[in-house]
Amino acid sequence: MYHSWLDRWDERRARRGEEGKEATDFVLDAERAFPDAKEIASLEEFCGLADQAVADPAFFDEPSGSDQGFQRQDGWLKFPSGISTDIEENNVVWAKITESGSFDQVMVVFHHWNATTRNRQIAKYFSRRGITVVEIAMPYHFERRRPGSLHADYMLSANLGRTIQSVRQGVWDGRKLIRWLKSEGYREISVLGMSLGSWIAGVIAAHDPAVSKASLFLTAGSLAEMVWTGRATRLIRDSLEPEIELTDLRRAWGPLNMENYVHRLARPDLDLHVVLAKRDKVVLPELSERFMQRLKDAGAKPNILELNCGHYSLAIPPYILLAGLSLKRFLSCADKSPRRI
């Protein structure tokens, strides 16, 4: 009875999330994803460039490596993004810093898609326990929102190239922030990603050796399959389905598939923590389970917490309390042995 109520609660929350959303046109927009692309007009050509990006270990490395332009004031940090888009607001990155008074550990938080508020409770909780929390705004969210938009529809959409550009921008911004934190003297750097934010945090952890711990909430490997099957992305699928098959979408968004980076995530100096929801209709459990298995096959030993709730109901008690306690233990523990609850 309780879980039936919980499922209905998640569905009502999903419907509220659809308000104001509209289907958009399917667009390749290859030059956004691959700036050196010239006159790419076919899906096959786009997929070829995506294959090259997957094989390129530097695809998520910011070319300039510039750490200039950081401004910090009254608990806020802002700096220029490494990618320049046609939305001026999106080209400046904002982050909220909640200090702990210690330079031993800092956690960078990447929020979920279409987030409207930062995670003040998380920041307050961990800062009181000696962990500085930095909440970064992902592309097209918060201070970076596209004027007039109700949703972060430029972050994730049926525009294949812009979606890759946006995720890549989020990764570059996160890595630039991490370099700054290292330069400021923070010793141990962790990342926490929630839902879409887990893809950003996961790709960063896979590519940046400065990250020693990564916690991924409500995650999976293939972003393409998540969008195709998930409850929150039905309108995106409606735009995609007449123009592209899932097989091709997997290949086109291959650079965004964390399954392609499992060996990087399995590096011995990275600890992994994962929180999954057994009743999730946004990131389907079978996609998460496959990703977990591929991590293990690559030699990773993730600490996995599975809760009997849905995607949205993870945010309500007792599930959010259990997830928070699990994260606290993970950040406090140096033991890399796997656990499954």
Residue carrying the six token digits 């993970």: 330
Instruction: Compute CA 90 distance to the chain's CA centroid, rounded to the nearest angstrom.
Output: 17
Residues 231-274 pLDDT 10s: 999 999 999 999 999 999 999 999 999 999 999 999 999 999 99
Residues 130-189 pLDDT 10s: 999 999 999 999 999 999 998 999 999 999 999 999 999 999 999 999 999 999 999 999
- Nearest partner of 123 among 110, 115, 132, 114, judged by Cα: 132
- pLDDT at residue 75 tops 50: yes
- pLDDT at residue 339 tops 50: no
Q: Which residues contact 333 (CB under 8 A, 6 or more apart)?
A: none
- pLDDT at residue 119 tops 70: yes
- At 250, which amino acid appears? R
Mean pLDDT of the chain: 94
| Superfamily name and number for 2-332 | Alpha/Beta hydrolase fold, catalytic domain (3.40.50.1820)
Domain boundaries, the chain: 2-332
- pLDDT at residue 3 tops 90: no
- pLDDT at residue 21 tops 90: no
The answer to whether the predicted template modeling score (pTM) of the entire model surpasses 0.85 is yes
Whole-number pLDDT of residue 122: 94
Whole-number pLDDT of residue 66: 65
- pLDDT at residue 17 tops 60: yes
Per the CB < 8 A criterion, the answer to whether 218 and 313 are in contact is: no
Is residue 9 very low, low, confident or very high in pLDDT (cuts 50, 70, 90)?
A: confident
* Maximum Cα–Cα distance across the chain: 57
Whole-number pLDDT of residue 65: 60
Is residue 16 very low, low, confident or very high in pLDDT (cuts 50, 70, 90)?
A: confident
Residues 278-337 pLDDT 10s: 999 999 999 999 999 999 999 999 999 999 999 999 999 999 999 999 999 999 975 444
> What's the rounded mean pLDDT across residues 21-31?
90
Whole-number pLDDT of residue 18: 75
Per the CB < 8 A criterion, the answer to whether 331 and 127 are in contact is: no
Whole-number pLDDT of residue 191: 98
Is residue 13 very low, low, confident or very high in pLDDT (cuts 50, 70, 90)?
A: confident
Whole-number pLDDT of residue 24: 87
Burial of 333 (0-12, 13-18, 19+ CB in 10 A): middle
Taking residue 338's Cβ as centre, other Cβ atoms within 10 Å add up to: 12
Is residue 82 very low, low, confident or very high in pLDDT (cuts 50, 70, 90)?
A: very high
Whole-number pLDDT of residue 2: 78
Q: For residues 16 and 18, what is the distance between their CA atoms, to the nearest angstrom?
A: 5
Strand partners, 107: 133, 190
Element (H, E) at 78: strand 76-80
Which tokens go with 295?
């991590």
pLDDT above 90 covers a percentage of the chain that reads: 86
